[in-house]
Amino acid sequence: MVLFNKVTKTYANGTKALEDVSFRIDQGEFVFIIGASGAGKTTITKLITRQEAFDSGEVVVNKYRLKTLRNSQIPYLRRTVGVVFQDFRLIDNKTVYENVAFAMRIVNAPAKEIRARVPHVLSLVGLSHKAKAYPTQLSGGEQQRVAIARAIINSPSILIADEPTGNVDPNMSREIMDLFQAINDRGTTIIVVTHELSLVRRMKKRVIQLDGGRILYDKVGGGQE
């Protein structure tokens, strides 16, 4: 669950990135966030994961009220939110398997559980055969799917992807959307930030469009320009 109520965010240099933004995303929803470059899309994801603080309003993510969240609680908030970055952020000197297992080790998962779950998730994203490969030996789409596997390995209740289709061809971006749909079918909330309107139209999901830090519209069924 993500709740924004009259949220305003100004960066340290004075840039006003969000202004009076309110929306609510319930558990199990699939939502696109669209908008021109600089509209504030990434800023929303940074607020959800508490990379950035905000000036005023209220942000609630799952059971965490971010305005009063103590620093020591941030790791636990982040364990409930998986993030797929546009630049993937994989560790080059670890194999695909290790990159994913690493995320489980960080949350103190027992070795037995890691050995059981990592192959399962790798097969879910269709990368079982690449488990021993290194990120630099993979295509952009494959790296993307490793990043998705890592983001969902700890079963977060929310999955956020910032421009997940920015670096891949249309075929691949369709496959990735299918993967998100499969993850969403298991009950995980999906939030996808994107520029690709064709994709958004085809998926027929709820769309939140931002413009200059404000919400332009928020409705189900595709976009207009």
Partner 1 sequence: MKRINAFYFIKEGLKNTFTQGFMGIASIAILLSCLVIIGIFMLTTENIDLNLQNIEEQDEIVAFVDEILTIEEAQDLKYVIDAVPHVKDSIFVSNEEALKTFEGQLEGAEDVMAELEGDNPLRHSYRIFVDQIENSSAVADSVRMIPGVIKVRHNEFVTNNIISLRNVFSVAAFAFFIILLALSVFIIYNTIRLATVARRKEINIMKFVGATNWFIRWPFVIEGLIIGLLAATLAYFCSWYLYTYFVDNVFEGINIVKLLEFGAIRGRLALIFYGVGILIGVIGSAFAIRKYLRV
List of residues contacting partner 1 (CB under 8 A): 49, 51, 72, 75-79, 83, 89, 91, 102-103, 105-108, 110-111, 150, 154
Q: Which of the ranges 32-40, 69-77, 149-157, 174-182 carries the binding residues for ligand ATP, by CB under 6 A?
A: 32-40
Shortest distance, position 165 Cβ to ligand ATP, whole Å: 13
Q: Of how many residues is the chain composed?
A: 225
User: What is the 8-class DSSP label of residue 69?
Assistant: -
Q: Is 49 one of the binding residues for Mg ion (CB under 5 A)?
A: no
136 binds, among Mg ion, ligand ATP, partner 1, none (CB under 5 to 8 A by kind): none
Q: Which is nearer to partner 1, 59 or 147 (CB)?
A: 147
Question: Which of 42, 99, 165, 188 is in the footprint of Mg ion by CB under 5 A?
Answer: 42
Shortest distance, position 166 Cβ to Mg ion, whole Å: 10
30: helix, coil or strand? strand
Dig out the tokens for 26 from the structure.
């319930």
Number of Cβ within 10 Å of residue 177's Cβ equals 22
Distance, in Å, from the CA atom of 189 to the CA atom of 187, rounded to the nearest integer, reads 6
User: Which of 121-133 are b and which e, b meaning 16 or more Cβ less than 10 Å from the residue's Cβ?
Assistant: bbebbebeebbee
CA nearest neighbour of 151 among 112, 106, 111:
106
Cβ distance 55 to 8 under 8 Å? yes
Q: Which of the ranges 9-17, 20-28, 69-77, 92-100 carries the binding residues for ligand ATP, by CB under 6 A?
A: 9-17
Shortest distance, position 41 Cβ to Mg ion, whole Å: 5
Question: Which of 35, 57, 135, 156 is in the footprint of ligand ATP by CB under 6 A?
Answer: 35
Distance, in Å, from the CA atom of 159 to the CA atom of 140, rounded to the nearest integer, reads 20
Dig out the tokens for 138 from the structure.
């993979």
The contacts of residue 185 (CB under 8 Å, 6+ apart) are none
Q: Which is nearer to partner 1, 17 or 84 (CB)?
A: 84
Question: Which of 39, 59, 81, 177 is in the footprint of ligand ATP by CB under 6 A?
Answer: 39
Question: Which of 15, 51, 139, 155 is in the footprint of ligand ATP by CB under 6 A?
Answer: 15
Q: Is 41 one of the binding residues for ligand ATP (CB under 6 A)?
A: yes
Q: Is 11 one of the binding residues for ligand ATP (CB under 6 A)?
A: yes
Q: Is 164 one of the binding residues for ligand ATP (CB under 6 A)?
A: no
Q: Is 13 one of the binding residues for ligand ATP (CB under 6 A)?
A: yes
Torsion sign, CA atoms 111, 113, 115, 117:
negative
